[in-house]
Amino acid sequence: MKLIIAFSFYFLANSIVAQQCSTGQIAYYSSCLLFIKTPLEFNTANSICTGFSGSLVSIHNAIDNRNVTSYVQHYTNGAFWVGAKTISQDVTNPTNWYWTDGTKFNYQNYQSFQPISQGSTSCMQVLPGTGKWSTAACSGTVLPFICELPSLIAQTCPSHCPSGYTWFAETDFCYKNFVQQSNFNDARSVCQADGGELTSIHSQNENDFLVQLSKTGLIVSDDGWVDQVWIGFIFVNQKWQWTDGTNTTYVNWGDGEPNKMQTEWWAVLNADAHQGSNTEASKWNNVGQIDERAFVCKRAALH
């Protein structure tokens, strides 16, 4: 009897929980779909999804296509990324395409006169209204996107990062953009209290990932404090050093930076260059420490 009760509880719990998705998400196979409205390049969008232990969505038949597009219609009429990519110029051959989640590319729903090669790589966008597919340049095109994420029950499995942090596979570190106004010292204290440091940056890819990460969800204000985010780069003992103790292996100063070296011994990343005339997108700038900005913390991944 106990066994029967245990079993029926098991099946009941499974049937209720297996489909569970967070608010704003919908069930899709054993996963959940999450629409992310921030327009990003294809690879960055996919790394945001992998940071949540998922990937860009894959579509395998007309019903999937309808389910995905009708979900997106709640949010936008504009094109969005799905997880199909090819590194072949022969885009008409389905075997040259793959889904970033590793599933087979076994269904297409192209718009007329598609697919068209975008060069050495092509990625797939879908229009919610028609559900029709077309290619877009993987780099240079920024679109909202859909992540296919583990359902809540699967999310109890260990993940790479603490909640709120995004994992970047290439560095195997976790990052979080704190959208709160802080001077350098306060920002650094917040990172340390959270088990990390203000971020260090060691490659162009890590830099570009951080530019995208620190753009997501930002409120644009007139004083431009979200324009630039604090990074852990400081001028001490006559040299620029990372506060996390890692070596300076890469720098990405903007034109004419660092300047005003009598007083400006702290550094920021220009996450959003649409404000302020002297900000160059994705470059670094040296500044004084008291201005209040958002900041990015970096900490070890959970394994």
Residue 67 beta carbon to ligand NAG: minimum distance, rounded to whole angstroms: 4
Interface pick for ligand NAG out of 25, 28, 41, 252 (rule CB under 6 A): 28
Per CB under 6 A, which region of 60-68, 122-130, 147-155, 257-265 contacts ligand NAG? 60-68
Q: Does 29 bind ligand NAG (CB under 6 A)?
A: yes
Residue 160 beta carbon to ligand NAG: minimum distance, rounded to whole angstroms: 22
Q: Does 251 bind ligand NAG (CB under 6 A)?
A: no
What are the CA-CA distances from residue 124 to residues 135, 153, 189, 264, 271 (Å)? Answer: 5, 30, 42, 44, 26
Q: Does 163 bind ligand NAG (CB under 6 A)?
A: no
Q: Does 247 bind ligand NAG (CB under 6 A)?
A: yes
Per CB under 6 A, which region of 23-31, 110-118, 137-145, 148-156 contacts ligand NAG? 23-31
Alpha carbon distance 189, 161 (integer Å): 20
Residue 225 beta carbon to ligand NAG: minimum distance, rounded to whole angstroms: 33
Alpha carbon distance 264, 126 (integer Å): 46
Residue 68 beta carbon to ligand NAG: minimum distance, rounded to whole angstroms: 9
Q: Does 9 bind ligand NAG (CB under 6 A)?
A: no
Q: Does 67 bind ligand NAG (CB under 6 A)?
A: yes
Q: Does 290 bind ligand NAG (CB under 6 A)?
A: no
Interface pick for ligand NAG out of 1, 3, 4, 63 (rule CB under 6 A): 63
Tokens for 128?
A: 């919610």
Interface pick for ligand NAG out of 27, 142, 251, 273 (rule CB under 6 A): 27
Residue 33 beta carbon to ligand NAG: minimum distance, rounded to whole angstroms: 9
Residue 27 beta carbon to ligand NAG: minimum distance, rounded to whole angstroms: 6
Q: Which residues bind ligand NAG (CB under 6 A)?
A: 27-29, 63-64, 67, 247
